[in-house]
Amino acid sequence: MVEKTIELIGVSANSIEDAVQLAISRAAVTLNGIHTAQIANVAATVENSRVVNWRVTVRLTFIVKEQLHE
């Protein structure tokens, strides 16, 4: 079995958890079988001394499927 990892940045106006979920939801549009999300970094966008966005870098891992037949 081979697995693959991609790195995405989820951006949420609300929370770190929501940013992670958005990254997973976007990846799931084109990828099946994502089984792990590892948080690599958390940052916040700050405007006028307030957090306006959470930017969470996530590494998503999925199994590379064998496709011998269409």
Partner 1 sequence: MATIGAKVSEIARGIHQIFLPLPMRPSIVNVYLVDCSGDWALIDTGTNGQESLSALEGALGQLGITFDRLGAIIMTHHHIDHCGASAELQRLSGARLYIHALELDRITRTIAFAGSAGPTAQAREFFLRHGFPVDRYGAQALRPTWLDPRLYQPSVRPDHLMADGDIIPVGKRRFEVIWTPGHAPGHCVLYLSEEKVMIVGDHLLPKITPHVGLYPGSVANPLGDFIASLEKVQQFDVALVAPAHGGVFHDHRHRARQLIEHHRYREAEMLDLIRKRPMNAYEVAQQIFGSQERPTFHILAATFETLAHLEYARLEGRARAYERAGQVVYQCS
| Number of neighbouring beta carbons within 10 Å of residue 4 | 10
**Closest CB 14 distance from partner 1, rounded Å:** 5
Q: Is 45 in the site for partner 1 (CB under 8 A)?
A: no
Angle at alpha carbon of residue 58, lines to 55 and 30, rounded to 5°: 110
Q: Is 28 in the site for partner 1 (CB under 8 A)?
A: yes
From the list 43, 39, 44, the residue with the least C-alpha distance to 61 is 39
Beta pairing partners, 5: 61
Q: Which stretch binds partner 1 (CB under 8 A): 16-24, 33-41, 42-50, 55-63?
A: 16-24
Q: Which residues bind partner 1 (CB under 8 A)?
A: 12-14, 18, 21-22, 25-26, 28-30, 70
